[in-house]
Structure 1
Amino acid sequence: MSNISNAVDSLANTIGTLEPQVSAETDLQNLMTVEAVQKVLHRSRASVYRYANTDTLILNPPFDHTRLNPESRQHKEEPLMFHPNEVARFAQDVLKIKQVIIEINQPPETLTHQLLRQVLAELKIIRDLIESTS
């Protein structure tokens, strides 16, 4: 019986550690692409690239308050992604846009996440049954 209880604990811990990974993916999804910035600022794609703080020699140049600073990248091939707060700061401070409204819609919960929640609920029920019989 203790082996089953240990297995349930192990699985519950494993599923519990998956939660931060899912929220980290959600945080990454909250970043804005060049197209999203283009729509928010009502500027052309070329303008967004002109505003962006990029350099052909430096992958992640230092912060420049007069430019639109993208998030850090690991490779030059990665697309430019911008944090919504940075886009709002740039719009207000540099472009002098008075009112900036940036809406971020949370992505829907994935099927995998729903299944993991159901598995965890069933494992908790099994654990309670095992503990009640011991």
Structure 2
Amino acid sequence: MLSRSIDPASAAGGVSVETTADVDAVIARSDALVGIEDVQKSLNRSRASVYRYTNTDPRNLNPPFNPRKLNPEYRGDQKDPLLFHPNEVARFAKDVLRIKEVTVEVLNSPSTATQQCLGAILEELRLIRSHLEGLQDAPSDLSARRERQDRSAA
């Protein structure tokens, strides 16, 4: 069984691509966009053939969808790199290249600094909630709280 993989840390956007004897295009993380190199490796085609497959036009930055071509994502500038949605690569492999079995697999992305910060905030909120729920005599209104504070100060 032929097997090839790209380390998620080295691939753009944490994309993992695997190829086996029966499955020539397995693309991971359907929410991440993949570049020409990842498409080339997943389809096991040369860079030149991937460019030939791609729906591009020098006169039109974003040509309309072509079901016989590999359609890149929207670009704002001609200098922007060609990026492809993994589902589009899988569709192209299945419908145009006639690859028998194509699987799109969604994996969890590596944790980012933002996700770690949000996780820490969530944990802190859980601790605060459990502390507040643990209070036995939690006053229900402001006057009861004042009475409670007056008693403890005296």
> TM-score range, shorter-chain basis?
0.5 to 0.7
| Structure 2: gaps spanning 5 or more residues | 1-12, 15-28, 140-154
AA of the residue aligned to 2:62: N
Deviation at 1:54, TM superposition (A): 0.8
TM-score by length of 2: 0.59
Indicate the residue corresponding to 1:53 in structure 2. 55
Indicate the residue corresponding to 2:98 in structure 1. 96
Q: What does residue range 25-64 of structure 1 map to in structure 2 within 5 Å?
A: 30-64=32-66
The 10-residue stretch of structure 1 (62-71 or 97-106) with the greater mean CA deviation from structure 2: 97-106
Does structure 1 residue 115 correspond to structure 2 residue 117?
Answer: yes
Identical-residue share of aligned pairs (%)? 53
The 10-residue stretch of structure 1 (36-45 or 116-125) with the greater mean CA deviation from structure 2: 116-125
TM-score by length of 1: 0.66
Distance 1:67 1:119 in 2: 45
The one of 106, 112, 122 aligned to 2:108? 106
Distance 1:50 1:111 in 2: 39
| Structure 1: gaps spanning 5 or more residues | 1-24
Larger radius of gyration: 2
> How far does the alpha carbon of each residue in 1:69-96 deviate from its partner, in whole angstroms, 9 at most, with x for none?
0111222222111112211221122222
For the aligned residue pairs, the C-alpha RMSD in angstroms reads 2.7
The one of 124, 127, 130 aligned to 1:125? 127
Higher helix share: 1
> How far does the alpha carbon of each residue in 1:33-88 deviate from its partner, in whole angstroms, 9 at most, with x for none?
11111011111011111110011121111000111001112222221111122112
Higher strand share: 2
Indicate the residue corresponding to 1:83 in structure 2. 85
